[in-house]
Amino acid sequence: MTVYLDGAPTGAVTVDAAGNWSFTPVVPLAEGSHTVFATVELGGETSPNSSINTFIVDTLAPDTSLTSVPPALTSSSSATFAFSSNEGGVSYECSLDGSAFLACGTPTSITGLSDGTHTLAVRAIDGAGNLDPTSATYTWTVDTAAPDTAIVTAPPALANSSSASFSFSSNEGGVSYACSLDGSAFLPCSTPSNIAGLSDGSHTLAVRATDGAGNADPTPATYAWAVDTTAPDTTIATAPPVLANSSSATFTFSSNEGGVSYACSLDGAAFAPCSTPATFAGLASGAHTLAVRATDGAGNVDATPASHAWTVDVVAPAPPVISAPAAGSSMAALAAVSGSAEAGSMVAVFIDGAPVGTVTASGAGAWSWTPPAPLAAGSHTVHATATDAAGNASAASAAVNFSIGVVAAPAAVPSLGAWGLLGLTSLLGLWGLGALRRKG
């Protein structure tokens, strides 16, 4: 038997007793399409050509490409792939995470993936059975766990600023943040984040992290605080009189806001913490001023402290001097008690130890008191004290003794009866006789 390849005799082979034969080319055939037929020689005769068979020689492995893959980081536990080859009519085998290759088609979907890193390898097998020795591979990460968000720094719960700064963090790296103020829509934000133009009142910030796989924190971190930019007003409720005779002073004060603290400044000194009531001791005589300001819980300080000015006078005036009545004098009636004392002081007059009246000393210190009713006849004493405008009382003046006397009624003229006329005539006669004798 003669074998013809591509129309040319290529070799001869003997048919075995069973009628079978086989021919192996000595020289490998080139890649591509070929034809083969054979003739039989028997007894010097050659048979007609056999039917011609066409075949293809293919020793090249196909190449595999992945044309559609999931994101490198995804929040889905399933993944869909599509792949292709540089040869047509191929079949595919897939291997997930190093498992055995199994037949697969394109596209192919994989479900039930656990969180973590995964790798899919795909290889093509052509019609000649050539297997891609360099499988196409793709590695990606599944992350279905949402990140957690934490607010790290925030303004105080009660703040006196119309702006607020926040910083936040997450238990995952590479996250992005979105913020919502007072229930508004979430918008992208970064850390640190500053919010300005806040109105007085309560506010709430919510922050949520979204990781690279697209998982968003379902329980955003929140922080609530109040803005108070209004300073409190301070009022002094009770204070010493503007002229006081005490070296200590007690004040009470209040504010139009609750929960405030106070600071006091005495006579221009630095403000220092104080509380109500507040007592100041050891005050020197002279003028004093107390200023008080309230600070609210947000730290707003009253810019116009309440103040009270007063004068301390703890010096008693000198005892009054009584100039009338004169000591030891006697009179039918007491017309007035007068003298001198500290200017403007209140002079109290005492007769026989009992208070009988008061009078204010003039600017020059003079004073005079008139009894409203006559004093009884007899001996009396008078003394006086002076009390200044601050309420300081002097010691008693020296007592002055005086008396109220009884004026005698005129003696009665005796009646001239008969005996009276006789006696008078005799008297006149004797007086006349004596006068005649002197003349003689």
Asked whether the predicted pLDDT for residue 429 surpasses 50, the reply is no
Question: If we measure between CA atoms, which residue out of 194, 193, 147 comes closest to residue 170?
Answer: 147
Lowest average pLDDT, out of 27-31, 323-327, 328-332, 361-365, goes to: 27-31
Same domain, 186 and 127: no
The predicted pLDDT at position 351 comes to 98
Residue with tokens 């600017």: 363
What CATH number should be reported for the domain holding residue 176?
A: 2.60.40
Residue 316: CB atoms within 10 Å: 19
Same domain, 350 and 296: no
The predicted pLDDT at position 424 comes to 31
Q: Contact, 270 vs 305, CB < 8 A?
A: no
Same domain, 44 and 98: no
Q: Long-range contacts: 116-119, Cβ < 8 Å, 24+?
A: 116/141, 116/142, 117/141, 117/142, 118/79, 118/142
In which band, very low, low, confident or very high, does the pLDDT at 11 lie, cut at 50, 70 and 90? confident
What CATH number should be reported for the domain holding residue 336?
A: 2.60.40.1220
Asked whether the predicted pLDDT for residue 377 surpasses 90, the reply is yes
Residue 438 maps to a domain: no
Residue 112 maps to a domain: yes
- What percentage of the chain reaches a pLDDT higher than 70? 92
Residue 416 maps to a domain: no
Render pLDDT for 286-313 as a digit per residue (tens, 0 to 9).
Answer: 999 999 999 999 999 999 999 999 999 9
Domain final residue, candidates 115, 142, 169: 142
In which band, very low, low, confident or very high, does the pLDDT at 415 lie, cut at 50, 70 and 90? very low
Asked whether the predicted pLDDT for residue 426 surpasses 80, the reply is no
What CATH number should be reported for the domain holding residue 250?
A: 2.60.40.10
Same domain, 8 and 37: yes
Residue 185 maps to a domain: yes
Same domain, 374 and 329: yes
Same domain, 120 and 168: no
In which band, very low, low, confident or very high, does the pLDDT at 55 lie, cut at 50, 70 and 90? confident
Q: Contact, 49 vs 37, CB < 8 A?
A: yes
Same domain, 241 and 293: yes
Residue 86 maps to a domain: yes
Render pLDDT for 18-37 as a digit per residue (tens, 0 to 9).
Answer: 989 998 988 888 887 889 98
Write down the mean pLDDT value for the chain. 91
**Going by C-beta distance under 8 Å and a sequence separation of 6 or more, which residues neighbour residue 257?**
232, 233, 294, 296
Q: What is the DSSP string of 114-154?
A: PSEEEEEEEEEE-TT--B-SS-EEEEEEE--PPP-EEEEE-
Render pLDDT for 186-197 as a digit per residue (tens, 0 to 9).
Answer: 999 999 999 999
What one-letter code names the amino acid at 131? L
Question: If we measure between CA atoms, which residue out of 180, 200, 181, 178 comes closest to residue 189?
Answer: 178
In which band, very low, low, confident or very high, does the pLDDT at 329 lie, cut at 50, 70 and 90? very high
Render pLDDT for 335-376 as a digit per residue (tens, 0 to 9).
Answer: 999 999 999 999 999 999 999 999 999 999 999 999 999 999
Q: Contact, 120 vs 190, CB < 8 A?
A: no
Rg (CA), the chain: 66
The predicted pLDDT at position 422 comes to 33
The predicted pLDDT at position 58 comes to 76
Same domain, 83 and 35: no
Render pLDDT for 240-281 as a digit per residue (tens, 0 to 9).
Answer: 999 999 999 999 999 999 999 999 999 999 999 999 999 999
Residue 418 maps to a domain: no
The predicted pLDDT at position 406 comes to 55
Same domain, 349 and 397: yes
Domain final residue, candidates 197, 227, 257: 227
Domain final residue, candidates 125, 142, 159: 142
Tell me which of 433 and 105 has the higher pLDDT.
Answer: 105
Q: Which residues constitute the domain of residue 47?
A: 2-57
Tell me which of 358 and 47 has the higher pLDDT.
Answer: 358
Residue 38 maps to a domain: yes
Residue 431 maps to a domain: no
User: Half-sphere exposure of 383 toward its Cβ, with a 13 Å CA cutoff?
Assistant: 11
- As for how many domains the chain has, the answer is 5
Render pLDDT for 144-169 as a digit per residue (tens, 0 to 9).
Answer: 999 999 999 999 999 999 999 999 99
Q: Contact, 291 vs 303, CB < 8 A?
A: no
- What percentage of the chain reaches a pLDDT higher than 90? 80
